[in-house]
Structure 1
Amino acid sequence: MSAENWTDDEAIEAWLTYMEAFRGRTARTIECYRAALVRLKEFMEGKPLVHAEPDELEVFCGLWLHKKGVIARSRKPYISAVKGFYAWLQGKEQGVKGNAAKELMHPITGHPLPRTISLANAERLMWAPDMNTFIGIRDAAILSLLIGCGLRVSGLTHLNESDLQTMELECTVRLTIRVTEKGERERIMPVPREAEALLRVYLGHEELASIDRSFKGKGGRTDKVLFVTTKSPTLPAHEFIGEKRRLSRKGVRDLIQRHGIKAGIPASELHPHAMRHLFGTELLEEDTSMLAIQELMGHADPKSTAIYAQLAMRKKMKTVDRAAPMSKMKTPVSELLKRLPN
């Protein structure tokens, strides 16, 4: 059946199925696409999506979304969904003539620097959990991986016990983790010694030993959820096992907020990506190559890594203090500066 004869919902679901099965889009991306096309249906007010005109799509992606409170940067996923959907409709199998979204342009926006947590506040956050409790030890282990490995929150919550691996480096056994994040891409991350110690304390805790967190993993092999939640308001105890014990992304964000507020850290620094940005920034401050940072952070696009060059201000400041022309000149304030503390 030609796409011309589909209902809007049939066309949308067929495209989403294609994007997931053949283009490898994640479940989260699929839901974003679905939400964008549902709003397009709202805008079209009953007119079939396959019959949309270019000027209608232009108004939807611009003025209409703007009036709905969607800022320019946030309109980009909508435009990507619309462009992808209409390009697919034009394909041989769908048989729709012309691509109504072909000329759509993404809005031109600046590149704001990501918000990062300061090194001092990251240290305060690490001290916030109560290490006399199982929850405190779990939270400290989680924070140590976010700060020490720069993990995305999705990568952290997907971790299983089988993702912890040891290897011998220079006659020393070190811990690594296999991380699966965006687009199901895998990478092996070295674990800092402090994070490894906290993980081992967590894994050896008697309360964790009493929790059934086993499930059938890849290839039917038994695996165990790494980071667990300790309560469920809806599930009976006999069902609160295995995958249902997995700590959610919201659970991670909540614990960051809880400990951060207690430590007096600004709310703008209390999100998982602020720790990821700290990780990338500190690597660059220590003259780590951009290629190595890209690999450690799991960036598919080098442009994502380049942003840390703008955040590595400590190194830039030292360079300016040492090598810029003013540092080599005698000025009216030179003698005054000598008397100031470093």
Structure 2
Amino acid sequence: MTAAGPDDARLIALFLDMLAAERGAARNTLLAYGRDLEQASAWLDGRLGTAQAPELAQLSAHWAGLARASAARKGSAVRQFLAFLQSDGIRADNPRRDLAAATAARPLPKTLDPRDVDRLFAALADRLAAHPGDPRTLRLAALIELLYGSGLRATELVSMPRHAVRPGRGFIVLAGKGGKERLAPIGSRAEAAVAAHAALVPIAARHLFPSRNGTHLTRLRLYQLVKELAAAAGIPPDRVSPHVLRHAFATHLLEGGADLRTLQTLLGHADIATTQIYTHVASKALVELVNARHPLADRKA
């Protein structure tokens, strides 16, 4: 297998430039697309840009032994690349239909039972009662309240600016995926927890959760803190993570009657299809909602 040919390398670079300029793709996304396309080009001896059905069949054969999610990602990259070449007039046709699609099975998100959430917050309350005013405990309380109360992503949380939370405003302005700004809700509990923690953070600090080296708390440390609290609450640590708390936020809102469009906004999802995964998690509650609220629910057959 050789490297991508010079023509392919130029076309891949143009495609990545388009993703960055027109779609605002994040750096990690660009790196992933670049790797997948360079590898596909190498498998075709530098002929990805001019590939036809036989060459695309070769790619499908190469991907046959990969995990379904990996094959689906690589196929998506190539199909978007070929569509770009046609839309920019670099080639007249678009043979992407000849590329066998490997559909990735989207796993159901892990979540927590409301009783487990209660246990988690009970353990947090015990720590606050035992160590009132302790900076590390107040920081942990603010982190947990924002994860479950606002449904933040781990990166959004740890990188939050020092003055992102303003009393009484009811929402936070965040830098979401791809650097795009989004609004996240913040309830009175989370606001109070953040205020107690922020009172101990230097006014000149750039981040709400600063680290000793002048940047901010790392995602790894956040994961460790969440799992330590889970263990203290008697919950197996492998069942709890920052992302699980975000999923719990979404699932419990849906079970409480929130609609998918509202949930999409609260979670900062660009595509409603991403939000729809929660309907599988909360399907029992949705069936009960239909049976209770539908106009025909109280009529006898």
Q: TM-score range by the shorter chain?
A: 0.7 to 0.9
Inter-partner Cα distance in structure 2 for 1:258 and 1:11: 48
1:30 is the counterpart of 2:30: yes
1:117 to 88, 94, 112: 112
1:285–1:312 contact (8 Å) kept in structure 2: yes
2:208 to 201, 219, 226: 226
Aligned-partner residue type, residue 29 of structure 1: T
1:312 is the counterpart of 2:294: no
Aligned-partner residue type, residue 83 of structure 1: R
| Residue number in structure 2 paired with 1:297 | 267
2:254 to 284, 301, 307: 284
Aligned-partner residue type, residue 197 of structure 2: Y
Deviation of 1:89 (Å): 3.0
2:20–2:26 contact (8 Å) kept in structure 1: yes
| Residue number in structure 1 paired with 2:140 | 139
Deviation of 1:328 (Å): 11
| Residue number in structure 1 paired with 2:56 | 57
1:73 to 66, 69, 72: 69
Inter-partner Cα distance in structure 2 for 1:257 and 1:275: 11
Aligned-partner residue type, residue 209 of structure 2: F
Which stretch of structure 1 is more off in the superposition, 77-86 or 32-41? 32-41
Superposed CA deviations along residues 92-117 of structure 1, whole A, max 9, x for unmatched, are 46x34543434335324555432112
Deviation of 1:42 (Å): 4.7
Inter-partner Cα distance in structure 1 for 2:253 and 2:157: 20
SS of corresponding position for 2:184? strand
1:157–1:247 contact (8 Å) kept in structure 2: yes
- Higher radius of gyration, 1 or 2: 1
1:192-203 alignment to 2 at 5 Å?
192-203=187-198
Deviation of 1:289 (Å): 3.0
Q: Which has the higher strand share?
A: 1
The 3 A distance-change label for structure 1 pair 313 and 21 is: closer
1:85 to 60, 68, 81: 81
The 3 A distance-change label for structure 1 pair 19 and 320 is: closer
Inter-partner Cα distance in structure 2 for 1:111 and 1:125: 28
1:114-193 alignment to 2 at 5 Å?
114-127=109-122, 131=128, 132=131, 133-166=134-167, 173-193=168-188
Unaligned runs of 5+ in 2: none
The 3 A distance-change label for structure 1 pair 12 and 313 is: closer
| Residue number in structure 2 paired with 1:43 | 43
Inter-partner Cα distance in structure 2 for 1:313 and 1:253: 29
The 3 A distance-change label for structure 1 pair 64 and 179 is: same
1:16–1:30 contact (8 Å) kept in structure 2: yes
Deviation of 1:5 (Å): 8.0
SS of corresponding position for 2:12? helix
Inter-partner Cα distance in structure 2 for 1:117 and 1:328: 35
SS of corresponding position for 1:161? coil
1:274 to 224, 233, 244: 244
TM-score normalized with structure 2 length: 0.78
Aligned-CA RMSD value: 3.5
The 3 A distance-change label for structure 1 pair 268 and 164 is: same
TM-score normalized with structure 1 length: 0.70
1:87–1:102 contact (8 Å) kept in structure 2: no
Which stretch of structure 1 is more off in the superposition, 264-273 or 12-21? 264-273
Aligned-partner residue type, residue 37 of structure 1: L
Superposed CA deviations along residues 274-309 of structure 1, whole A, max 9, x for unmatched, are 222211121122222333222222233333333333
Deviation of 1:209 (Å): 2.2
Unaligned runs of 5+ in 1: 167-172, 214-223, 231-239, 330-342
The 3 A distance-change label for structure 1 pair 185 and 200 is: same
2:251–2:281 contact (8 Å) kept in structure 1: yes
2:82–2:95 contact (8 Å) kept in structure 1: yes
1:115–1:274 contact (8 Å) kept in structure 2: yes
1:150–1:275 contact (8 Å) kept in structure 2: yes
Inter-partner Cα distance in structure 2 for 1:74 and 1:5: 23
